[in-house]
């Protein structure tokens, strides 16, 4: 369904846009014509004409020739190869200590910032939470226009892993962005006016949301979706860039064969599933992040996600590879037909998504020129694949792996060890569901020949859920339990841990289970780690260690840039990994940096702010804890000053305050509430997750709990109404459990019993 909405802008706003664009427009005119422009006023008419005719002017031809425009950053990864490599070298080891702030742009949101801005012809385009868009003068940081989509508040209860957005795309005068609730917008690059809006969700009663970036394939806009952990059935859809009309849709897993198939590939895929699979559960395979497009081969590459539910014994009882879970698909964008596919994790069992960013490169391997696609998915193996034919060239572990011994290059299949089979007893599995590499972009430097991976060592103990599986529409349905070998609610502090065998027994004979983050330089030809740097900071052995290191960018100045949760932007030598310098940004970072040039000045910019399923942990030691988590874009230049610091926050000396309400309810109600919380709320509110810890609610939250849960009283803060999902008695049971849990936490800290008043409000 397509609807067109016309937005209006005041004449004052348009006038300000022209003023802001003037300086960068004058530079653009000079660079294109070779003219010497002494003052912006002298060429106001011609400069504005050029700026408005050039705004967002990205085409296939321009992407193919990105090497001739090193000053631009034309896609999320800079080029069509999605390399996260800038050829610029004005900033290098010799002057890196002179890097300082050029400008900052503050964003009034405390949700996660995971996108990398695009810069084209002096204008910066950046996306933020919910699908917001910020367009700035790339020289000064002054705002040109912004876009904040109207969001259906019900979407917040369908979001698995944070209120985030991983990017936008710019094409032939339009900006394309997807909102959290699944609408794809085309915005005029000059004004921000809505050109068209398309609904990308096929069933709004299911757990669909959109957090990924659109990609261009020719003149088609491609978008996937999230929600496998709820009950989404994955697919990717192509839309005409001018009109928003649907061109084709490719489902990544089959539906019930008795209902027929939407396209021929699904009939083939269905043969890899039990005919009695849990079709009603959606099965997963969502395309929530990485894609790439090769305009020369005219092939679109799509990474698919995890299974749902996780245990294959439950999902597809008689076994099977379960295509197209955890796969790379090569699709002809003109027809929407599959050209080839490669499945990295057949019978996916552990949340081993293959949605991580993919990088296209041309390299010499064993004396032969190869066009390759590279990916470091969650399962722990680094893949090099011929991107024309789908032939597997190499697959080698880049982190510790115990679920498989190796990948057989003849068959392309991993050889499983049995250590990942947790159906009968708990198992310690390497990697865990966070993966060896999550969504944070890796980068490829053609000069060094190395791929820089923000990797993690994070095993997990998997086990089956005790209760029989029961599908509920729109609700989480993992059907497996897991904890990490760390202290706290995601680890040994979890109720799950109390049912497990001793950790010494689970870890016997297995690799070192210490959880940590590592930036690794991987040689895809020699198939080995060249250097690595521990990015855990003070959190070695804790879960936040894997999120302290953000996405990566590398440059022609032989540098690697990585933002940290501590608030420092680290700059390393690309050849050795030696840290050369760091800039205190004052805001925690997860997104990948980028670089561009205006005139003779090179800039480095990054979107800052924590977020995601586990990333929004405002722990002591993070900049988010010290200064808050409001987002901002920070641009740096040589000769710049110190980044302005925000006012430090004041924190209580105690981690656990006395709950502001009395205990109530009987053991049966508390147990009922705990079960409902686990089923409905834990996915977001699991203490260390992306939403607030509900055991620390203030008095106002307690007094308005039912209004918040059942009436959407805090929908504007991301908490939609659960009316129709749970009733009032169930909501009260959840509240009773949370109050009891809050008192348990308080008692354990202060060693003081709490009064129990069953009838108190």
Q: Which residues are catalytic?
A: 351
The answer to whether 588 touches 624, Cβ cutoff 8 Å, is yes
3-state secondary structure 127-188: EEHHHEEEEEECCCCCEEEEECCCCCHHHHHHCCCCCCCCCCEEECCEEEEECCCCEEEEEE
The answer to whether 150 touches 167, Cβ cutoff 8 Å, is no
**What 3-state DSSP class applies to 12?**
helix
Q: How far apart are CA 556 and CA 74, in angstroms?
A: 17
> In 3D, which of 145, 394, 435 has the Cα closest to residue 289?
435
Q: Tell me how crowded residue 621 is: count the other CB atoms within 10 A of its CB.
A: 16
Q: How far apart are CA 430 and CA 453, in angstroms?
A: 17
Q: How far apart are CA 518 and CA 549, in angstroms?
A: 8
Q: Tell me how crowded residue 408 is: count the other CB atoms within 10 A of its CB.
A: 13
Q: How far apart are CA 564 and CA 357, in angstroms?
A: 19
Number of residues that this document lists for the chain: 761
DSSP assignment of 552-620, as one string? EEEETTTEEEEEETTSEEEEEETTT--EEEEEE-SS---S--EEEEETTEEEEEEEE---STTT----T
Q: How far apart are CA 70 and CA 1, in angstroms?
A: 40
Helices 11-33, 44-54: inter-axial angle, 10-degree rounding = 90
CB burial of residue 748 (10 Å; 0-12, 13-18, 19+) = exposed
Q: Tell me how crowded residue 371 is: count the other CB atoms within 10 A of its CB.
A: 16
What is residue 441's DSSP assignment? P
> In Å, what is the CA distance from 281 to each residue of 210, 251, 618?
19, 15, 34
Two structure tokens written together for 124: 């910066």
What is residue 660's DSSP assignment? S
The answer to whether 174 touches 729, Cβ cutoff 8 Å, is no
Two structure tokens written together for 669: 């109600």
**CA 491, 495, 500: angle at the middle one, nearest 5?**
75
Q: Taking the CA atoms of the chain, what radius of gyration do you get in angstroms?
A: 25
In DSSP terms, which residues pair with 373 in a beta bridge?
360, 385
Two structure tokens written together for 210: 């959109």
Q: How far apart are CA 232 and CA 225, in angstroms?
A: 9
List Cβ neighbours of 717 (8 Å cut-off, separation of 6 or more): none
List Cβ neighbours of 220 (8 Å cut-off, separation of 6 or more): 238, 239, 240, 241, 247, 333
> In 3D, which of 158, 323, 319, 279 has the Cα closest to residue 680?
158
Is the alpha carbon torsion for 193, 199, 201, 203 positive or negative?
positive
**What 3-state DSSP class applies to 86?**
strand
Two structure tokens written together for 629: 């988590």
**CA torsion angle for 238, 240, 244, 250 (degrees, to 10)?**
-10
Q: How far apart are CA 659 and CA 17, in angstroms?
A: 51
In DSSP terms, which residues pair with 299 in a beta bridge?
294
């Amino acid at each position: 369904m397509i609807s067109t909405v016309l937005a209006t802008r005041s004449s004052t706003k348009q006038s300000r846009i022209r003023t802001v664009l003037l300086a960068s427009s004058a530079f653009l005119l000079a660079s294109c014509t070779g003219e010497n422009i002494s003052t912006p006023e002298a060429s106001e008419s011609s400069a504005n004409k050029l700026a408005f005719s050039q705004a967002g002017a990205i085409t296939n031809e321009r992407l193919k020739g990105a090497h001739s425009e090193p000053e631009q950053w034309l896609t999320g990864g800079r080029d069509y190869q999605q390399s996260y490599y800038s050829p610029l070298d004005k900033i290098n080891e010799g002057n890196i200590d002179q890097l300082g702030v050029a400008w900052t742009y503050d964003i009034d949101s405390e949700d996660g910032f995971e996108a990398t801005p695009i810069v084209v012809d002096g204008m910066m385009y950046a996306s933020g939470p919910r699908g917001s868009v910020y367009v700035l003068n790339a020289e000064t940081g002054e705002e040109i226009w912004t876009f904040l989509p109207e969001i259906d508040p019900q979407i917040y209860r369908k979001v698995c892993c944070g209120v985030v957005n991983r990017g936008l795309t710019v094409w032939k005068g339009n900006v394309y962005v997807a909102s959290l609730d699944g609408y794809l917008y085309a915005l005029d690059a000059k004004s921000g006016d809505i050109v068209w809006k398309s609904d990308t969700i096929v069933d709004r009663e299911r757990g669909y949301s959109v957090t990924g970036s659109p990609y261009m394939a020719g003149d088609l806009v491609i978008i996937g979706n999230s929600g496998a952990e709820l009950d989404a059935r994955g697919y990717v859809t192509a839309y005409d860039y001018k009109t928003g009309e649907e061109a084709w849709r490719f489902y990544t897993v089959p539906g019930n064969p008795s209902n027929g198939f939407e396209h021929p590939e699904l009939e083939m895929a269905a043969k890899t599933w039990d005919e009695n699979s849990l079709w009603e559960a959606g099965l997963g395979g969502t395309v929530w992040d990485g894609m790439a497009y090769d305009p020369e081969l005219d092939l679109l590459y799509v990474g698919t996600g995890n299974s749902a539910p996780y245990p294959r014994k439950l999902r597809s009882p008689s076994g099977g590879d379960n295509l197209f879970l955890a796969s790379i698909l090569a699709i002809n964008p003109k027809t929407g037909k599959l050209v080839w596919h490669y499945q990295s994790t057949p019978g996916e069992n552990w949340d081993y998504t293959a949605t991580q960013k993919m990088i296209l490169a041309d390299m010499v391997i064993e004396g032969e020129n190869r066009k390759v696609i590279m990916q470091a998915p969650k399962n722990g193996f680094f893949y090099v694949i011929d991107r024309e034919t789908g032939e597997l060239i190499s697959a080698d572990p880049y982190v510790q792996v115990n679920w498989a011994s190796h990948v057989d290059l003849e068959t392309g299949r991993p050889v499983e060890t049995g250590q990942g089979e947790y159906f009968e007893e708990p198992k310690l599995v390497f990697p865990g569901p966070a993966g060896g590499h999550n969504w944070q972009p890796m980068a490829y430097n053609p000069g060094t020949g190395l791929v820089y991976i923000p990797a993690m060592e994070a095993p997990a103990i998997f086990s089956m859920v005790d209760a029989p599986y029961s599908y509920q529409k729109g609700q989480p349905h993992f059907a497996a339990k897991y904890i990490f070998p760390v202290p706290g609610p995601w680890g040994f502090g979890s109720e799950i841990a109390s049912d497990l065998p001793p950790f010494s027994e689970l870890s016997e004979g297995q690799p070192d289970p210490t959880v940590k983050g590592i930036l690794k330089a991987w040689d895809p030809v020699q198939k080995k780690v060249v250097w690595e740097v521990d990015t855990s900071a003070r959190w070695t052995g804790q879960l936040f260690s894997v999120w302290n290191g953000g996405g990566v960018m590398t440059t022609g100045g032989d540098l690697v840039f990585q933002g940290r949760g501590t608030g420092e932007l680290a700059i390393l030598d690309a050849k050795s990994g030696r840290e050369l310098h760091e800039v205190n940004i004052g805001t925690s970072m997860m997104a990948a940096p980028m670089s561009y040039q205006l005139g003779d000045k090179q800039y480095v910019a990054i979107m800052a702010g924590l977020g995601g399923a586990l990333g929004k942990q405002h722990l002591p030691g993070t900049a988010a804890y010290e200064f808050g988590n409001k987002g901002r874009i920070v641009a740096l230049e040589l000769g710049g000053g110190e980044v302005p610091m925000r006012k430090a926050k004041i924190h209580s000396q105690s981690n656990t305050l006395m709950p502001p309400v009395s205990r109530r309810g009987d053991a049966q109600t508390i147990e009922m509430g705990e079960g409902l919380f686990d089923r409905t709320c834990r996915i977001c509110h699991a203490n260390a997750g992306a939403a607030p810890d509900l055991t620390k609610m203030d008095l106002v939250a307690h007094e308005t709990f039912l209004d918040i849960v059942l009436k959407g009283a805090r929908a504007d803060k991301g908490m939609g109404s659960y009316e129709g999902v749970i009733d009032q008695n169930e909501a009260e049971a959840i509240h009773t459990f949370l109050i009891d849990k809050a008192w348990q936490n308080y008692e354990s800290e202060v060693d003081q019993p709490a009064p129990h008043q069953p009838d108190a409000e």
